[in-house]
Amino acid sequence: MLRIAIQKSGRLHEDSLSLLKECGIKVRNGNGQLKSVASNFPLEVYFLRDDDIPQYVSDGVADVGIIGKNVFLEKEKDIRMVTELGFGQCRLSIAMPKSSPYQSFKDLAGKKIATSYPNLLRKFLEERKVPAEIHNISGSVEIAPGIGLADAICDLVSSGSTLFTNGLREVETILYSEAVLVNNRMAETGETGNLFRKLLFRIESVKNAANTKYIMLNVPNVNLDKIFNVLPGLKSPTVVPLAEEGWSSVQSVVKEDVFWEVIEKLKSLKAEGILVMPIEKMVL
Ligand code: ATP
Ligand code: ZN
């Protein structure tokens, strides 16, 4: 049985469960449950506070875990980061009251900075040889400057609206973070290792399919070569002749971020009847 620790509730909870679901693993998550056993994969899921997951994984109570890279790096436990998971994006940033002048990190010298990430902040300051005071607090970091507890904060930001509401502006970004899969060394050996690799293979297939679309289109044969240049596909596009003389149907895979650009180029090459479909899994 493989044991995975995921966040009990909070920003990573839903996406962690969805990832398991997309891996074809059914997990029931009853209210307030501490653990749950998957019905169709030898997997036990522990629901924990994200801050506790690195310790549980390094102690071997759980074999694998899903946490933010920020927590992985801050906790400095004896665990490995296996892969990034493509959700939970945020950044760890230093922010100051809007009215405070700020030109460069040198202006942090002598300042008191409140944070729940003392290790990551200390590293940032040490690397730049900035003498600042770190004030370690566990929650509601963003109100610290407003109540006179600190001159600046170092906290997680995604949209920046929390900073804005509290009259703060972002002045430095320390780390770009997203959810990551972590494990301990033992999780890669024996039967646990086999199950771990099976899970990782499924996760990679889900990740490969994310942000990709399957595309089908009809094109005049005279433009096929140019179309192939626009559509790199996985290995090469699939081409099937159409009943209509001089035309073919082409099928390929397109990355979402270049999708519209590709479509425009295809249209200019006289492509017709373009169909776009989601891809659920991609096994490479
Ligand atoms: P827990 O009760 O598990 O300790 P928490 O309050 O520490 O929960 P959340 O706020 O749910 O944690 O955030 C969990 C993770 O989600 C963070 O460690 C981070 O990796 C990620 N995350 C993504 N966007 C944000 C954001 N805007 N603010 C905070 N965390 C974010
Ligand atoms: Zn936490």
| Model pLDDT for residues 174-209, shown as the tens digit of each residue | 999 999 999 999 999 999 999 999 999 999 999 989
Domain extents for the chain?
Answer: 2-87+179-209, 90-177, 211-278
Angle at 102 between CA 100 and CA 104, to 5 degrees: 160
List the one residue out of 24, 28, 68 whose CA is nearest residue 199: 24
| Model pLDDT for residues 103-134, shown as the tens digit of each residue | 999 999 999 999 999 999 999 999 999 999 99
Burial class (CB in 10 A: 0-12, 13-18, 19+), 178: middle
Task: Compute the distance between CA of residue 267 and CA of residue 213 in angstroms, rounded to an integer.
Answer: 17
Length of the chain: 284
**Ligand 1 near 241 CB (within 6 A):** no
Fold of 90-177: D-Maltodextrin-Binding Protein; domain 2 (3.40.190)
pLDDT at 234: 66
**Ligand 1 near 71 CB (within 6 A):** yes
Secondary structure element (H or E) that encloses residue 136, with its range:
strand 133-136
> Quick check: 259 pLDDT over 90?
no
Tell me the torsion sign for CA atoms 55, 12, 203, 229: negative
Q: For the domain bounded by 211-278, which CATH number is listed?
A: 3.30.70.120
Q: Are 172 and 150 within 8 A, CB to CB? A: no
Q: For the domain bounded by 2-87+179-209, which CATH number is listed?
A: 3.40.190.10
pLDDT at 235: 73
**Ligand 1 near 166 CB (within 6 A):** no
211-278 shares the fold of 90-177: no
Q: Sorting pLDDT into bands at 50, 70 and 90, what band is 28?
A: confident
- Under DSSP, the state recorded for 98 is T
Over residues 4-13, the mean pLDDT reads 97
**Ligand 1 near 18 CB (within 6 A):** no
User: What percent of the chain lies above the pLDDT cut of 90?
Assistant: 89
The full DSSP string for 218-249 is EEEGGGHHHHHHH---SSS-EEEE-SSTTEEE
pLDDT at 284: 81
Mutation test residue for ligand 1: of 13, 50, 159, the one with most atoms within 8 Å of CB: 50
Tell me the torsion sign for CA atoms 210, 216, 217, 222: positive
pLDDT at 20: 97
Over residues 139-143, the mean pLDDT reads 93
Q: Are 82 and 121 within 8 A, CB to CB? A: no
pLDDT at 256: 85
Q: Sorting pLDDT into bands at 50, 70 and 90, what band is 237?
A: confident
Distance 66 CA to ligand 1 centre (A): 12
> Quick check: 29 pLDDT over 90?
no
